[in-house]
Amino acid sequence: MNKKNVKYLTTGEFAKLCKVNKQTLFYYDQIGLLPPVLKNEKGYRFYSINQIELFYVIDLLKDLGMSLNDIQQYTYNKSPERFLTLMYQKKEEIVKKRQEIEMKEKIIEAKIALMEEASHVDFHQITFKQLPEATLYLSRNIENITAEEFVEVISDFIGELNESQLDTGYPIGGITKREQVLKGEFSNYSYLYIEQPNPREGYPYFQAVKGDFLIGYHIGEDKTIHNTYKLLFSEMERLHLALGDYVFEEFIYDTVVMNHKEHYVTKIMIQVDQIGS
């Protein structure tokens, strides 16, 4: 074979151009995916320069998660029409993956911002401030449910967030109505919620109107949270404030960042009214 007159590449040369090892090409030949254009009497394989593009397409399809068996089925029945259909299909898959990656990036950005904000908070301080309007996505009503039912509800809620791509990276919180708080039923939530900073159309949302809130932080397990509420009620009395319609609770530090429950931190936001206003 006079390689000066024909454009054939040895297995090593072709492998170097494709940036793979020769064993990959041997395997592709073995399964009929990318056979060489010819083999000489000594069994040496030779490839055409034109086969480089086919290798790149095979490599692209592999990177996109297509199995070698499915790629092989295409190569057995190649046509411009089948190739175009395949490319459109893969483009749709890439668009979907990119959207998923962008969503995950936003979730990570939100978690970074929340954690950095938490690192500058004095968890022993009670503050009185006005919170802006917020859009919340709610679970179904969960007042007075059992512990077993609560597990089912939170499982369903997380499933909804994942399926509808409504996970924003913000913590899942609980809304307690005024009547439950007055009875000391601080963990008898009415709804679970997650904040939606960029709400999408077509979903039922709860609009938390802007207003005055007394904000404190409970450090430790949920079973001792009544002690923190006592401190908050004392501060409300000192500031001549009355309990509003809702209390919002959400974890600041939980099992994601702490190994022990006594180090968990729950943010408590009590909606309040000025007495006499």
> For residue range 228-262, what is the model confidence (pLDDT) as tens digits?
999 999 999 999 999 999 999 999 999 999 999 99
The per-residue pLDDT for range 129-143, each reduced to its tens digit, is: 999 999 999 999 999
- Tokens representing 190? 């009415």
Q: What is the pLDDT of residue 7?
A: 78
Instruction: From 144, 133, 135, select the one nearest 183 (Cα to Cα).
Output: 144
Determine which helix (DSSP H) or strand (DSSP E) holds 176, and give its type and residue range.
Answer: strand 173-177
The per-residue pLDDT for range 69-81, each reduced to its tens digit, is: 999 999 998 999 9
Q: Which contacts of 81-86 are long-range, i.e. CB under 8 A and separated by 24 or more positions?
A: 86/61
The per-residue pLDDT for range 118-130, each reduced to its tens digit, is: 999 999 999 999 9
pTM above 0.75, yes or no: yes
- Eight-class DSSP state of 172: P
Rounded Cα gap, residues 225 and 241, in angstroms: 21
Cβ contact 169:109 at 8 Å: yes
pLDDT of 6 over the 90 cut: no
